[in-house]
Structure 1
């Protein structure tokens, strides 16, 4: 798996680097006002983020740590203003640094500054988490469970994850509770209902978490 798993990023996030998940590859979109303010504030300090991103693209883990040390507190604040919960803000920032590490080679300084690129990733991760949280709330209703599309069916997604070695590596990036659900379903062969009973969780939540985890695995392998 990624060398990033071996990087410990303490400080403004209180979870290990293996507590992250991959959900959606960030494609920088138009930044919101809050994100523009964060970028402008960071740019005023003369950061050298572009050089650090180039170093990350070359596999320099210390360069990622420099970005983290410099931007993590500000990124947490920006994400928390949108998500309203510290834990979700930490998740958004943690996921963003995984994506920064994996995709640093895609950064093009001709298209914008390094900070704009980084905060666009954070913005997209934050919006993705907001969508997922709303979907999880909706999925707990019986109507939503019946309306789940075939495209999101876990068996359909799992069938596309054919590289066993890569899959094991991507599984390690999932938070432990979600990884456990995936293993219960596809290693022990438990149904969603059996998993819900075993874990004492609503069936809709179990379905949503498994579907969310499998889509994250699909993106990680993509």
Structure 2
């Protein structure tokens, strides 16, 4: 051992002594324990029907709840989310178990749960809106049979269209009869953008063979 190195703290038997807890950490831990005990008591009183106790709990924990909510939802949804979370905490105060979690942790679980519920509802609403728009657009678009019936039977074009698959007639009709872009066709049909492009390309090649003589 380097003589200049500080000795390792230990007992005479050579076992390392437990590290001392810094005074600042001890004070912080004691303050948290005191806070948790106070908040737990406020929740207990709230469960018994004390509105003033819950107001005190609200004032003491609002900053923690808001900090978490701000990371999860849009600013426009923040106030409603926090109101819902604290209302749930008021209704379910009797379910708080201080042996399982601190009062702050218990509240933050509620905030997180309400935020996730809100995000799921918003995502579902966007998906429904997207599907509705696509259905409305698809409802006005001609189908494969309409494309064929709109072309005079017995003509060269009718014969060419008859050789296309239903899917190829569908995307080709949306592209030329409805003047939709590849991206819009993908949204309407649910097909991948690459599949839409390849289907239209195959359909065009099949039609070209009917109208362009081979060399």
Shared fold per TM-score greater than 0.5: no
Q: How high is the TM-score relative to the length of structure 1?
A: 0.43
> Relative contact order (C-alpha < 8 Å, sep 6+): which is higher?
1
Structure with max Cα Rg? 2
Q: How high is the TM-score relative to the length of structure 2?
A: 0.44
